[in-house]
Structure 1
């Protein structure tokens, strides 16, 4: 199985980029992982909120294969602790799917088309985080989940 994380817009903070790359490298020891950035929309300031969500949604949907399981990182999604999240990943791995795709939307969230295509929604916290920070948190939690599944000490350091 491959796990893919898709996000809208590049990460501006160089320190965050280093941390994200660090956890990507760690995660690659456990599973095939891809992190794909969809560039920010050009002239987004000229678009309404709904137009921006629709255009970003079209770009997201264009990155998916029909067989992909799509999980949206969404404030109204299901919340897990780290152990339960590792079990959630294990269930997906056991199901025989080829690719599990997590998506971090743009500043206004997702279009209705993306919500319709989604197989689930996941929330990392009831708090609101920047779209830049969520990338790091999502990749770190994926890494943590695999260390839990392998019974490695990272989770309890």
Structure 2
């Protein structure tokens, strides 16, 4: 199974980017993993929130194949503890050809992206910046990989 993380807009904080790159490299030892960054929209002051979500949604949907299992990182999604997420990820490895996670733009997702999604996950009831959530989520994918392999990274 190939796992993909789609991001809207590049990671601008060099410290977050360094951490993300580190976890992406680590994840690559366990499974095929790829980051896809959709360019940030230009001249958004002339666009409403709904127009921005629609335009970003079109760009997101262009990256998704019909057979993909699509999971949105969304505040209303299901929450997991790390061990539960590892079990969920292992199950997806056995059923999905491509597992695609999506971190949306500042206003969330368009109705079309929600309609295409298979599931939604929430990392916390708290709100994090889109920059930070990228680092947190790549770390959680790495943590899940180590849990699945029975390695000592995670402590309960």
TM-score (norm 1): 0.98
Partner Cα distance (2:141, 2:120) in 1: 15
Matched position secondary structure for 2:12: coil
**Which residue does the alignment assign to 2:66?**
66
* Cα distance per residue 1:21-76 (max 9 Å; x no partner): 00000000000000111010011111000000000000000000110000000000
Structure 1: gaps spanning 5 or more residues = none
Aligned residues: 156
1:101 equivalenced with 2:100 (yes/no)? yes
Partner Cα distance (1:116, 1:13) in 2: 31
Matched position secondary structure for 1:16: helix
**Which residue does the alignment assign to 1:15?**
15
* Cα distance per residue 1:115-134 (max 9 Å; x no partner): 00000000000000000001
* Cα distance per residue 1:84-120 (max 9 Å; x no partner): 000000111111x210000000000000000000000
**Which residue does the alignment assign to 2:41?**
41
1:110 equivalenced with 2:109 (yes/no)? yes
Matches within 5 A, 1:80-99: 80-95=80-95, 97-99=96-98
The runs of at least 4 consecutive aligned structure 1 residues that moved more than 2 Å come to: none
Q: What's the Cα RMSD here?
A: 0.9
Partner Cα distance (2:94, 2:63) in 1: 24
Matched position secondary structure for 1:5: strand
Structure 2: gaps spanning 5 or more residues = none
**Which residue does the alignment assign to 2:136?**
137
